[in-house]
Amino acid sequence: MKTIWTIAKRELGTYFTSPVAYVFIVIFLFLAGAFTFMVGRFFDRGVADLLPFFLWHPWLYLFLVPAAGMRLWSEELRLGTMELLLTMPVTPWQAILGKYLASWIFLAIALFLTFPIVITVGYLGHPDYGRIFCGYLGSLMLAGAFLSIALLTSSFTRNQVVSFILAVVVCLFLILCGWPPVTDAVSNWAPAWVVDGLASIGVMTHFDSLQRGVLDSRDLLFFGSVIVFCLFANSVVLRAHRA
Amino acid sequence: MINVEHLTKTFGAKCAVDDVTFSVSKGEVLGFLGPNGAGKSTSMRMITGYLPPTSGTITVAGFNVADQPLEARRRIGYLPENAPIYSDMSVLGFLSFCAEMRGLFGSAKKDAIDRVVQLCFLERVLHQSVDTLSKGFRHRTCLAQALIHDPEVLILDEPTDGLDPNQKYEVRTLIRRMGSEKAIIFSTHILEEVEAACSRAIIIDQGKIVANGTPDELKAQSPFAGNVIVTVGNVSKAQLLPQIEALKGVEKVWIVAEKPEHVTFQVVPRGNVLPELLEAGTRNAWKIEHLDVEEGRLDDVFRSITLPDTKPAA
Ligand SMILES: Nc1ncnc2c1ncn2[C@@H]1O[C@H](COP(=O)(O)OP(=O)(O)O)[C@@H](O)[C@H]1O
Ligand SMILES: [Mg+2]
């Protein structure tokens, strides 16, 4: 446990000793705000909820989460420090979890810094705080799922750019699978079970139901399984690197 | 301390390490010699548990590396080839991370860091970012990492690579000093280091051990060991050669250098040639300026073992 935290602490330190973390957070907050207020027409709707805010998170995360996760293993491979790390008394699982937690905490910090918008709706009207909580939870789980994908793709290659692109492609696939415009198009020619199958592995279905304030364990389970699957695949890739 | 038995590693069809068996006990410094690509790093990666062996067993301090990897690794300090190091940390931050990974916290951590900082001469760069370090300091920072938990076993892959002569000297002295209470393996392709720091050396070529012994034993295997080298001042080459070839104790003789003022020749002896040679000198009134018995150089041993087709240059 202590080892996991030691690794996580080092990774977090890496984010915050370089300007990258601050740039990342500023971009995230700026885009989240811009989409909410300009594209999502937050004020014109006249409804005190955060739907226009959360609506854009999958698309923001599509690029920002792979950017935050692309160096996690790639950099270790490039510098050769993987050999250093994995010959210390740690199990691969501890190393994976340490890295994963650090980045997730980092994303959670970025997400937490959007709290002024909660204060804004609270000031303007009487929002359903339970629903806002669900929204944040869904957003955090989505970030976690995308992060596990980025962590996995970063273990494929020492090249961060390749790792980034792979992660974006996989995340985009998971978004499109359940995105209504796509499911509608597919339902024109495919049988219903294909559409349902695609929708159920897509992140949007699960993300949306959390946004509606429905705290369904199946949605959490979905994100949880994506995460566990990717972390497990990560450990397999690490083993393959050393074979 | 370190027991390696029938260790083999294949990458696809390529056999990088081929049935290697050796052991190192406490107080020994084992030099691991071999040309590039011989399998030194691969062997070390298996001993430290980074690469799983294709076959064979390794025990470190009584723990089987395959079955109890964490217990074995706790007792190993490892300097990987090229001294990899996290580039976005300060030297202190890096050492602090490594100490915590080794279970050292609080004052134990502080003491450990102080100790290795002193040992590896890092005071001056302690707060500097690893990025901006010179190669020598990077190397020593990574070495400090290997020493931080005062391990019983040290595995050092080319610890002096890229250092300047003074730093090389320091690191060798350090290795020799620590050698008395640890089991150390270090790889190198600089042969003088073996003589300077090792109690025993293994030469490995194409994955196989081709020689194993103390530096002196290895040197005795030199094709030149025991040769007599003589410089004579007042005789020409033409006069000299027949006089020497006539001696019974001379297997072979050749001229090493010929200058107007003197001639140097080398004799491969058959038995002890010295008395006979000196007597011939007196008889023929040679003016012997210099006489030396070659004790053998590791370079020559290394070359003759790892390049079997090349005859020693005359
Ligand atoms: N991961 C790997 N995949 C394939 N071949 C490898 C790998 N690592 C090392 N080798 C090969 O194994 C041989 C031994 O390499 P190495 O142990 O690094 O040699 P040394 O350290 O003695 O110079 C080399 O021929 C090298 O090409
Ligand atoms: Mg090597």
Q: Flag whether pLDDT at A111 surpasses 70.
A: yes
- With a 6 A CB cut-off, is B9 part of the ligand 1 pocket? no
ipTM exceeding 0.85? Answer: yes
Quick one: closest CA in B to A91, which residue?
A: B70
Which residue lies with its CA nearest to atom 12 of ligand 1? B16
The C-alpha atoms of residue B113 and residue B133 are separated, in whole angstroms, by 18
Domains of chain B in start order, with CATH, are 2-220 (3.40.50.300), 228-294 (3.30.70.100)
CA-nearest of B51, B55, B34, B31 to B43 is B51
B190 alpha-carbon distance from chain centroid: 6
Is the C-alpha dihedral spanning A78, A80, A82, A85 positive or negative? negative
Residue B36 alpha carbon, nearest atom of ligand 1: 23
Most confidently modeled range among A48-62, A133-147, B250-264: A133-147
Which residue lies with its CA nearest to atom 18 of ligand 1? B41
Q: Flag whether pLDDT at B312 surpasses 60.
A: no
Quick one: closest CA in A to B81, which residue?
A: A80
Q: Flag whether pLDDT at B2 surpasses 90.
A: yes
**What average pLDDT score do residues A185-193 get?**
81
A119's CB contacts (< 8 A; 6+ apart) are none
Q: Where are the domains of chain A?
A: 2-242
Contact (Cβ atoms closer than 8 angstroms) between residue B306 and residue B203: yes
How many angstroms away from the CA of A48 is the closest CA of chain B?
44
**What average pLDDT score do residues B238-256 get?**
82
Q: Flag whether pLDDT at A200 surpasses 80.
A: no
Most confidently modeled range among A36-40, A75-79, A196-200, B299-303: A75-79
Contact (Cβ atoms closer than 8 angstroms) between residue B84 and residue A79: yes
Which residue lies with its CA nearest to atom 17 of ligand 1? B39
The C-alpha atoms of residue A44 and residue B104 are separated, in whole angstroms, by 58
Q: How many CA atoms lie within 13 A of B23 on its CB side?
A: 10
> How does pLDDT run across B159-216, given as a tens digit for each residue?
988 788 888 888 889 999 899 899 999 998 888 888 888 899 999 999 999 888 888 8
pLDDT higher for B140 or B294?
Answer: B140
What is the value of pTM for the model shown? Answer: 0.86
For residue A53, what pLDDT is reported?
A: 85
User: Which amino acid type is present at position A73?
Assistant: W
Tell me the backbone φ, ψ of residue B211, rounded to 5 degrees: -160, 145
**What average pLDDT score do residues A102-128 get?**
90
How many angstroms away from the CA of A15 is the closest CA of chain B?
10
The C-alpha atoms of residue B236 and residue B246 are separated, in whole angstroms, by 16
* CB contact B97 to A (< 8 Å): yes
Determine the distance separating the centroid of ligand 1 and the alpha carbon of B209, expressed in angstroms.
16
CA-nearest of B48, B36, B42 to B161 is B36
pLDDT-based confidence at residue B309 (cuts at 50, 70, 90): low
Q: CB under 8 Å, gap of 24 or more: what pairs does A52-57 form?
A: A53/A114, A53/A117, A53/A135, A54/A135, A54/A138, A54/A139, A54/A211, A55/A211, A56/A31, A56/A32, A57/A32, A57/A139, A57/A142, A57/A143, A57/A207
pLDDT-based confidence at residue B314 (cuts at 50, 70, 90): very low
| Closest ligand to the CA of B38 | 1
For residue B313, what pLDDT is reported?
A: 45
| Token code pair at residue B265 | 């020749």
Total beta-carbon pairs less than 8 A apart between chain A and chain B: 66
Q: Flag whether pLDDT at A40 surpasses 80.
A: no
- With a 6 A CB cut-off, is B312 part of the ligand 1 pocket? no
Quick one: closest CA in B to A15, which residue?
A: B88
B18's CB contacts (< 8 A; 6+ apart) are B8, B39, B206, B207, B208
> How does pLDDT run across B62-85, given as a tens digit for each residue?
999 999 999 999 999 999 999 999
Q: B89 and A81: CB-CB below 8 Å?
A: no
Determine the distance separating the centroid of ligand 2 and the alpha carbon of B64, expressed in angstroms.
24
The C-alpha atoms of residue A85 and residue B100 are separated, in whole angstroms, by 12
Buried b (16+ CB within 10 A) or exposed e, B172-200: bebbeebbeebbbbbbbbebebbbbbbbb
Cβ neighbours of A13 in B, within 8 Å = 89, 93
Q: Flag whether pLDDT at A161 surpasses 50.
A: yes
Which single residue is written with the structure tokens 């030194």? Answer: B40
For residue A146, what pLDDT is reported?
A: 96
Q: Flag whether pLDDT at B43 surpasses 50.
A: yes
pLDDT-based confidence at residue B311 (cuts at 50, 70, 90): very low
Of all helices (H) and strands (E), which one includes residue B56? strand B55-60
For residue B10, what pLDDT is reported?
A: 94
How many angstroms away from the CA of B49 is the closest CA of chain A?
6
Q: Flag whether pLDDT at A1 surpasses 90.
A: no
For residue B80, what pLDDT is reported?
A: 96
> How does pLDDT run across B54-68, given as a tens digit for each residue?
999 999 999 999 999
Strand ranges in B189-227 using DSSP code E only, listed in sequence order:
200-205, 208-213
